[in-house]
Amino acid sequence: MDTKQRILDEALTLFSEKGYANVFVGDIAERVGIKAPSLYKHYKSKRAIFDAIIEEMNRRFEEQAKAMNINGSNAAADAKVYENMSEEHLLGLGRQFFLYFLHDDYNKRFRKMLTIEQFHDKELADLYTKLYVDDPLSYQGMLLGMVAQAGLLKTDNVEIMTLHFYAPIYYLLTICDRDPSREEQALKTLDEHIRQFNRLYGRTK
Amino acid sequence: MDTKQRILDEALTLFSEKGYANVFVGDIAERVGIKAPSLYKHYKSKRAIFDAIIEEMNRRFEEQAKAMNINGSNAAADAKVYENMSEEHLLGLGRQFFLYFLHDDYNKRFRKMLTIEQFHDKELADLYTKLYVDDPLSYQGMLLGMVAQAGLLKTDNVEIMTLHFYAPIYYLLTICDRDPSREEQALKTLDEHIRQFNRLYGRTK
DNA sequence: GTCTATAAGAAGATAGAC
DNA sequence: GTCTATCTTCTTATAGAC
């Protein structure tokens, strides 16, 4: 990884742990293994580093969204997948989402940074809401909607059903961000949540 | 209100908007209507102001918890209340909780401050989890448990049922903290959530 | 591109008069 | 208890040699 990228990476780590204001340019430089003034050959200011992180993150998420839409469309075309959606499949869906968000390193650091900085300006608040509230709800709503259409979940309000699926996942995620030692317990709760969700909305059970 | 208390109040407002590190002692003093050095007659450092806020908050929440336990115990003794728990009562319970947390000025500012500072040290992370995760879950679990015992909700797992009741409330709360303009929509969603919750867990429906 | 030296300014905190 | 003046330290950023 080149220096310019390593600066971004180390900065994100520090920002996610201490918040933008508590991280000094010298701290970032030290981690990269250079002196603070050298850093200004790569970025013109501390704020420029922060902005570059946001930009890169937007790029990554757009990429990901594109990939998921392709899968989503493929899945829609190949709808038979959903006619065989079992409780185990549903558990997999929830677990996969939860663990990816929780453990993917870039995701995790970025989410923590946004959590800390979200009230700093409206743009960051909107970004947080998009990434961790609206987008997951819309994506999962699409999937659950297809499962419902296949007759395996029964509801007259897909939006609320999706809220019932996702809100506990989000809730458990924020717990683990604060205290990783609760992860094991959270995973157990997650499974119980999804089994119960399936029982509540499942047609046959 | 005396100066010492007003310093706490204005500091909390500023900390909740900009975070501890972005608030300067001069900002707090200005709001109170004094100069920065005068502030040091009341608190020996900026950190001491922050600590005093945490301390006062702990005091307030303990007081509140005590009051709720008394009500809880009374309610348990007077269990007949729960035998007549209708959907409207359930809606009231959720709404009351949501709106109190959302609008109570001290609560709102304190929650936003803790959100910003939660990763700064473990003590603050634990406090956040206690106040906005574990305590509400345990309190609502107690109430819903009594409703279930009265036969109006049906479940073999009160904990997961309570998660299904509270997680969407928490989720909507964090949305409104970031963007108050979504409050009206959130309240509508809240009502739909609780009606659906009641349908899913209700014995007779 | 990296370094040392240093400027420029901010912010927390203290001294001492009133 | 509040003020003005000031100290001290920290932090971003630049200058200029290599």
Query: In this complex, is the C-beta atom of B132 within 8 Å of any C-beta atom belonging to chain A?
Result: no
Residues 6+ apart with CB under 8 A from A197: A90, A164, A165, B164
Q: Residue type at A65?
A: A
Whether residue B77 is predicted with pLDDT greater than 60 in this model: the reply is: no
Judge whether residue B45 contacts strand C, using its CB and a 7 Å cut-off.
Answer: yes
Distance B38 CA to D3 C1' (A): 8
Stretch (H or E) spanning A59: helix A46-77
The architecture CATH gives domain A1-54: Orthogonal Bundle (1.10)
Whether residue A75 is predicted with pLDDT greater than 80 in this model: the reply is: no
Largest separation between any pair of C-alpha atoms in chain A: 66
- Helices (H) then strands (E): counts for chain B: 11, 0
**Alpha-carbon distances of B12 from A20, B26, B55, B129, rounded to whole Å:** 20, 14, 12, 19
Sequence spans of domains, chain A: 1-54, 68-200
Which residues on chain B are in Cβ contact (under 8 Å) with A161? 196
- Among chain B residues, the shortest Cα distance to A168 is held by B167
- Among chain A residues, the shortest Cα distance to B137 is held by A171
- Both tokens of A4, joined, read 């310019």
Is residue A163 a contact partner of residue B193, using CB atoms and an 8 Å limit?
yes
Largest separation between any pair of C-alpha atoms in chain B: 66
pTM for the structure as a whole: 0.96
**Alpha-carbon distances of B91 from A67, B14, B86, B100, B195, rounded to whole Å:** 40, 34, 9, 14, 7
Which residues on chain B are in Cβ contact (under 8 Å) with A192? 157, 160
Cα separation, B200 vs A160, in Å, equals 12
Residue nearest to nucleotide D6 (CA to C1'): B37
Residues 6+ apart with CB under 8 A from B41: none
- DSSP 8-state symbol, B150: T
Residues 6+ apart with CB under 8 A from A133: A170, B171, B174, B175
Top-confidence range, A88-92, B43-47, B64-68: B43-47
- DSSP 8-state symbol, A104: -
Pick the CATH number of B68-200 from 3.30.70, 1.10.357, 1.10.1670, 1.10.1060: 1.10.357
Tally A–B CB contacts below 8 A: 110
Per-residue pLDDT of A117-148, as tens digits, reads 999 999 999 999 999 999 999 999 999 999 99
pLDDT band at A74 (very low <50, low <70, confident <90, very high): low
Per-residue pLDDT of A15-73, as tens digits, reads 999 999 999 999 999 999 999 999 999 999 999 999 999 999 999 999 988 887 777 66
Per-residue pLDDT of B177-200, as tens digits, reads 999 999 999 999 999 999 999 999
* Residue from A12, A13, A15, A11 nearest A28 by CA: A11
Is residue A12 a contact partner of residue A110, using CB atoms and an 8 Å limit?
yes
Cα separation, A130 vs A149, in Å, equals 26
* Residue from B69, B20, B74 nearest B49 by CA: B20
Whether residue B205 is predicted with pLDDT greater than 50 in this model: the reply is: no
| A175/B171 Cβ within 8 A | no
Residue nearest to nucleotide C10 (CA to C1'): B24
| A18/B179 Cβ within 8 A | no
- Both tokens of B187, joined, read 């309240």
Cα separation, B148 vs B158, in Å, equals 8
| B163/A189 Cβ within 8 A | yes
What pLDDT is attached to residue B119? 98
**Alpha-carbon distances of A106 from A34, A101, A196, B19, rounded to whole Å:** 23, 9, 31, 24
